[in-house]
């Protein structure tokens, strides 16, 4: 246990705290909702809204609210502590659960490594909380027998509802997974009444949970949230950025070779189908196959078609890995099926995650020595430009160097996917702060601007991999 505490606590908790607030790419979309909320700006990200809504209604709301509730103060550093605390709860519960499922030391450490990798990858995205719900549902089906089906269906429904208001896509995938799991555990039933009743209890409890959360917890009207989800879904469906599969599923820094989890998921489905077929129920078998096709299509549409949405698979990874180990423990690790379909891809993924974590830790250590200097430089230069009434724009990771909502309200934050992010020529801006973490090195030439300060990491390592932290360059507009 001590070794696990040192490993998980060191990487996923201590190093995450040393790294600073996660305001990079999608993390900023969600963490800044909590930041705005705690600082009296409303429950919304006042710097960016992908559907141009005046409120936060385009995604699940539970994690930004929970982060706000857990935060000891309204700064980005305090919000980072709240995010880390949620990850800490996940990892604390993961340890006894894994140890109950398997006695194999090797399999345990594979699961430990995968969980830490996922916690680091989720960062401030809502998949962090959603993954906890999926793991809890997996535990329900592992510990509660069919004799307690009513309780199992009720608890699973509540968790499905909570996952849905955390991450709607994950909620739908979870509902599909619960349906498949219910068929599997009831495969020996002589009739279908028990399955139907458990499914009905689960469905009703999920809908009631969603309704309660929307009416009693969500700060706006339920119809506002539903309309926002519809609009965001339509916008996502219209996306055409279908490139980047290798980068998202093979070369992701913290979870490299995540693509092998599709193989593990297929291995789990194949094993379950064989057991259902052997139990003799052709109707259950056919229904399970239909559910598998539905899950495969939804995964393709939400996670594969647009590789940048790979997080819709990543949210499932801890539960998939846990179920695979449950099967291996039940059938024996020496069977050919277990070796090829489950153990081999899990071992490859865990080994790749170890490499990713080593690189991540090394980059964090490198950044720590410069952290205070960089934050102080950003703060002082922003104060100087604001005193001169200069209009400022900056990349999101550099907000951590300011961390003062009164100043940040007057700064244009440039997010990927918005106009003037990548064409390097934002209008009505006198000063541009560029983040090395987002654009790499060396500082690029920007038409209409001149480089006046270069605080990029100039090391050889930083040229190979984009460094962490708040390394920055400042550009001033030239006369036009």
pLDDT of residue 425: 66
pLDDT band, residue 344 (cuts 50/70/90): very high
The pLDDT of 259-283, averaged and rounded, is 94
Type and span of the H or E element at 330: helix 317-331
Mean pLDDT confidence for 35-54: 92
pLDDT above 90 covers a percentage of the chain that reads 73
Note the pLDDT of residue 334: 65
Give the pLDDT confidence score for residue 318 in this predicted structure.
98
What does DSSP assign to residue 423?
A: S
Q: Provide the pLDDT confidence category of residue 479 given band limits of 50, 70 and 90.
A: confident
Instruction: Identify whether the C-beta of residue 225 lies closer than 8 Å to the C-beta of residue 64.
Output: no
Question: What are the C-alpha distances in Å from 278 to residues 129, 271, 329?
Answer: 36, 11, 20
d(CA 41, CA 112) in angstroms, rounded, equals 39
Q: Please give the Cα distance from 30 to 44 (Å, whole number).
A: 9
Residue 452 has a CB neighbour count (10 Å cut-off) of 11
pLDDT digits (tens, 9 = 90+) for 227-256: 999 999 999 999 888 889 999 999 998 999
Q: Flag whether pLDDT at 110 surpasses 90.
A: yes
Q: How far apart are the first and last CA of the chain?
A: 63
Token pair belonging to 17 = 């705290």
- Between 375 and 427, the higher pLDDT residue: 375
User: What length does the chain have?
Assistant: 480
Which of these, 90, 479, 448, 49, lies nearest to 232 by C-alpha position? 49
Segments in 213-258 forming alpha helices (H): 222-237, 245-249
Whose CA is closest to 328, among 340, 317, 319? 340
pLDDT one-digit tens code per residue, 58-88: 999 999 999 999 999 999 999 999 999 999 9
Predicted confidence (pLDDT) at residue 352 exceeds the cutoff of 80: yes
Q: How far apart are CA 417 and CA 431, in angstroms?
A: 21
Contacts of residue 120, defined as CB under 8 A and 6 or more positions apart, other chains included, come to: 11, 12, 16, 254, 357, 360
268 band by pLDDT with thresholds 50, 70 and 90: very high
Euclidean distance between CA atoms 76 and 423, whole angstroms: 28
Residue 348 Cα distances to 253, 255, 256, 257, 342, angstroms: 15, 11, 10, 8, 10
Question: Per-residue confidence at 443, pLDDT binned at 50, 70, 90?
Answer: confident
Cβ atoms of 92 and 1 closer than 8 Å: no
Sorting pLDDT into bands at 50, 70 and 90, what band is 10? confident
Can you tell me the distance from the alpha carbon of 215 to that of 218, in angstroms, rounded to the nearest whole number?
6
Cβ 404 vs Cβ 418: under 8 Å: no
The pLDDT value recorded for residue 297 is 96
Distances (CA, A) of 449 to 431, 442, 446: 8, 16, 6
Q: Locate tokens 């409120």: which residue?
A: 55
pTM of the predicted model, to two decimals?
0.93
Please, which pLDDT band fits residue 284 given cuts at 50, 70 and 90?
very high
pLDDT band of 460, cuts 50, 70, 90 = confident
pLDDT higher than 80, residue 373: yes
Q: How confident is the model at residue 423 (pLDDT cuts 50, 70, 90)?
A: low
Rounded average pLDDT over 289-309: 95
102-120 average pLDDT score: 95
Q: What is the pLDDT of residue 424?
A: 56
DSSP 378-399: HHHHHHHHHHTT--EEE-GGGG
Q: Identify the weakest region by mean pLDDT among 274-278, 385-389, 434-438.
A: 434-438
Return the pLDDT at 331. 84
Average pLDDT across the chain, whole number: 92
- Contact, 105 vs 333, CB < 8 A? no
Burial of 423 (0-12, 13-18, 19+ CB in 10 A): exposed
Q: What is the mean pLDDT of residues 317-334?
A: 90
Distance between CA 313 and CA 321 in Å, rounded? 12
Mean pLDDT of 270-286: 93
Could you tell me if 95 and 263 are in contact, meaning their C-beta atoms sit under 8 angstroms apart?
no
173-224 pLDDT, tens digit each: 999 999 999 999 999 988 899 999 999 999 999 999 999 999 999 999 999 9
* pLDDT for position 177: 97
């Amino acid at each position: 246990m001590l070794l696990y505490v040192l490993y998980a606590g060191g990487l996923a908790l201590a190093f995450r705290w040393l790294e600073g607030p996660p305001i990079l790419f999608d993390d900023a979309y969600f963490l800044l909702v909590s930041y705005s909320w705690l600082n009296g700006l409303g429950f919304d990200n006042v710097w960016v809204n992908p559907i141009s809504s005046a409120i936060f209604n385009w995604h699940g709301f539970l994690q930004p609210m929970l982060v706000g509730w857990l935060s000891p103060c309204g700064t980005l550093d305090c919000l980072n502590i709240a995010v880390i605390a949620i990850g800490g709860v996940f990892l604390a519960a993961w340890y006894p659960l894994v140890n109950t499922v398997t006695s194999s030391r090797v399999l345990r450490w594979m699961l430990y490594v995968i969980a830490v990798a996922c916690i680091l990858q989720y960062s401030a995205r809502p998949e962090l909380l959603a993954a906890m719900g999926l793991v809890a549902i997996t535990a329900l089906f592992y510990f509660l027998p069919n004799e307690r089906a009513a309780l199992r269906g009720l608890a699973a429904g509540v968790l499905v509802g909570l996952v849905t208001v955390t991450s709607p896509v994950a909620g739908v995938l979870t509902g599909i997974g619960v349906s498949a799991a219910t068929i599997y555990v009831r495969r020996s039933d002589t009739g279908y009444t028990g399955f139907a009743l458990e499914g009905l209890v689960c469905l009703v409890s999920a809908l009631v949970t969603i309704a309660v959360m929307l009416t009693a917890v969500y700060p706006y009207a339920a119809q506002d949230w539903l309309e926002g989800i519809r609009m965001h879904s339509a916008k996502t469906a219209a996306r055409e950025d279908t490139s980047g599969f290798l980068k998202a599923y093979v070369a992701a820094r913290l979870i490299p070779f995540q693509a092998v989890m599709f193989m593990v998921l297929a291995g789990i489905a194949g094993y379950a189908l064989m057991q259902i077929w052997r139990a003799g129920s052709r109707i259950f078998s056919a229904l399970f196959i239909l559910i598998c096709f539905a899950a495969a299509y939804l995964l393709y549409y939400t996670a594969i078609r647009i590789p940048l949405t790979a997080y819709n698979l990543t949210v499932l990874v801890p539960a998939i890995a846990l179920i695979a180990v449950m099967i291996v423990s039940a059938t024996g690790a020496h069977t050919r099926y277990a070796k090829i379909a489950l153990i081999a891809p899990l071992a490859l993924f865990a080994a790749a995650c170890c490499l990713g974590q080593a690189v991540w830790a090394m980059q964090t250590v490198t950044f720590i020595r410069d952290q205070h200097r960089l934050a102080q430089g950003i703060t002082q230069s922003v104060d100087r430009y604001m005193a001169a009434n200069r209009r400022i724009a900056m990349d999101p990771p550099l907000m951590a160097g300011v961390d003062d909502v009164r100043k940040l309200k007057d700064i244009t934050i440039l997010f990927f996917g918005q106009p003037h992010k990548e064409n390097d020529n934002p209008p009505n801006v006198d000063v541009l702060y560029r983040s090395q973490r987002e654009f790499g090195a060396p500082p690029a030439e920007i038409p209409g601007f001149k480089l006046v300060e270069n605080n990029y990491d100039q090391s050889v390592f930083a040229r190979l991999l984009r460094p962490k932290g708040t390394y920055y360059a400042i550009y001033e507009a030239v006369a036009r």
